[in-house]
């Protein structure tokens, strides 16, 4: 029988299937990685964040706008789409939700007023993927443009902090999207852009084959670390958990197996249940905490799993679900102006920066991850 952590001779190693979000979560905080991708059932998250509602609503409206027929691609329609699809979760009250809906409507109307509706993107919310000898990576791109013979990756941002050229250059996600898009669509793709709607600015970076390869190598290094951690997780779970007997759903025969789930984090409702009240449950949790250490920092205030993480609670003050919106307002007037030409994407435009793993206000990528929950600049 195969032992976890060991490869059978001659057998190809299984590819690590991931998204950029998963890799960045591993890089940012192994404890959050475990909560997000390994513990099943996953620990309950905190309440939804209002800034995530803003980001998801804006992304959804812009994606829907490009799906409209050409003659309906107007700023007014963008505003209608935003209003119709407005996500109300996380706001302090109805008044706050309405205020931010109206501000967000102005953002999408201003942004779309700078776009050429006839300039059909190659992809909108397009999933792209590729594989190497180490990873099978995929992700969903906000927009893929074609400019000349090349493709351009466009990523919308609605967070507080204006982004820089360095943000575009250093983004693992954008580089991986470029590689995936190039391979899926059979065209060169080296330019990546961050379109920051609140400041009507664009940060652009032109990758070379060498810089893309460096990002890919970095992704493979992270994947190997995370893959090993995944295997260690399963080995710890199987070696520590007591065998138990169950009856399968499809037959009346009994099988002996290790539990399929890890002990929930302290403080979760099920942590007090019989399955985890045993000394072995505590032993397993301690070993997992050691293998998946917490990386506390300012982002902990915005982490969906903060309630399960004593280290994170000590690192940052608790936040209300709408607190990032307050931060936005304190920054002054970030409203977009209709017709603002700064929205126009231009090669060489210098702006922007994102923290690795922080997708800002971007909508969840549907990979079970993207759970950082924090604003672009908490």
Residues that bind ligand SF4 (CB under 6 A): 29, 31-32, 294-296, 299-300, 303, 305-306, 309, 311-312
Nearer to ligand SF4, 85 or 266 (CB): 266
Q: Are 361 and 339 contacting, i.e. CB atoms less than 8 angstroms apart? A: no
Where does 194-292 have alpha helices with state H? Answer: 209-240, 279-291
Q: What sign results for the dihedral spanned by CA atoms 326, 331, 333, 335?
A: negative
Give the shortest CB-67-to-ligand SF4 separation in angstroms. 35
Give the shortest CB-286-to-ligand SF4 separation in angstroms. 16
Give the shortest CB-371-to-ligand SF4 separation in angstroms. 9
Cβ-count burial 172-190 (b if 16+ within 10 Å, e if not)? bbbbbbbbbbbebbeeebb
Residue nearest to ligand SF4 (CB): 312
Give the shortest CB-309-to-ligand SF4 separation in angstroms. 3
Nearer to ligand SF4, 175 or 315 (CB): 315
Nearer to ligand SF4, 263 or 312 (CB): 312
Give the shortest CB-32-to-ligand SF4 separation in angstroms. 4
Question: How many Å from the N-terminal Cα to the C-terminal Cα in the chain?
Answer: 49
Cβ-count burial 86-97 (b if 16+ within 10 Å, e if not)? bbeebbeeeebb
In degrees, rounded to 5, the angle at the alpha carbon of residue 319 between the alpha carbons of residues 84 and 172 is 70
DSSP state of 252: S
Nearer to ligand SF4, 19 or 57 (CB): 19
Residues in the chain: 378
Nearer to ligand SF4, 312 or 321 (CB): 312
Percentages helix, strand, coil for the chain (3-state, rounded to 5) are 45, 15, 40
Give the shortest CB-142-to-ligand SF4 separation in angstroms. 25
Nearer to ligand SF4, 184 or 294 (CB): 294
């Amino acid at each position: 029988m195969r032992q976890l952590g060991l490869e059978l001779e001659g057998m190809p190693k299984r590819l690590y299937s991931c998204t950029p979000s998963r890799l960045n979560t591993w890089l940012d905080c192994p404890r959050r990685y475990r909560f997000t991708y390994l513990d099943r059932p996953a620990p309950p998250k905190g309440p939804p964040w209002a800034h995530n509602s803003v980001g998801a609503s804006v992304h959804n409206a812009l994606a829907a706008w490009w799906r409209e027929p050409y003659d309906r691609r107007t700023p007014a329609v963008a505003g209608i789409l935003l209003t119709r699809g407005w996500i109300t979760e996380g706001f302090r009250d109805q008044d706050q939700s309405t205020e931010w809906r109206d501000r967000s409507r102005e953002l999408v109307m201003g942004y779309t007023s700078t776009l050429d509706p006839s300039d059909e993107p190659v992809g909108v919310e397009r999933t792209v993927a590729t594989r190497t000898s180490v990873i099978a990576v995929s992700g969903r791109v906000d927009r893929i443009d074609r400019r000349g013979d090349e493709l351009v990756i466009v990523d919308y941002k609605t967070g507080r902090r204006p982004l820089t050229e360095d943000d575009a250059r250093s983004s693992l996600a954008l580089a991986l999207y470029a590689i995936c898009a190039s391979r899926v669509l059979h065209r060169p793709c080296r330019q990546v852009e961050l379109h920051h709607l609140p400041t009507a600015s664009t940060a652009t970076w032109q990758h070379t084959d060498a810089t893309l390869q460096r990002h890919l190598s970095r992704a493979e290094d992270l994947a190997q670390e995370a893959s090993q951690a995944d295997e260690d997780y399963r080995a710890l779970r199987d070696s520590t958990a007591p065998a138990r007997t169950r009856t399968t759903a499809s037959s009346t025969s009994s099988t002996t197996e290790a539990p399929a789930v890890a002990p929930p984090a302290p403080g979760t409702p099920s942590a007090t249940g019989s399955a985890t009240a045993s000394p072995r449950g505590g032993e397993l949790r301690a070993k997992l905490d050691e293998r998946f250490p917490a990386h506390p920092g300012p982002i902990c205030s915005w982490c969906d799993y903060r309630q399960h993480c004593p280290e994170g609670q000590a690192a940052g003050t608790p936040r209300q679900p709408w607190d990032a919106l307050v931060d936005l307002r304190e920054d002054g007037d970030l409203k977009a102006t209709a017709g603002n030409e700064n929205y126009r994407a231009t090669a060489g435009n210098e702006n922007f920066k994102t923290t690795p793993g922080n997708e800002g206000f971007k909508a969840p990528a549907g990979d079970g991850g993207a759970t950082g929950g924090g604003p672009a600049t908490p």
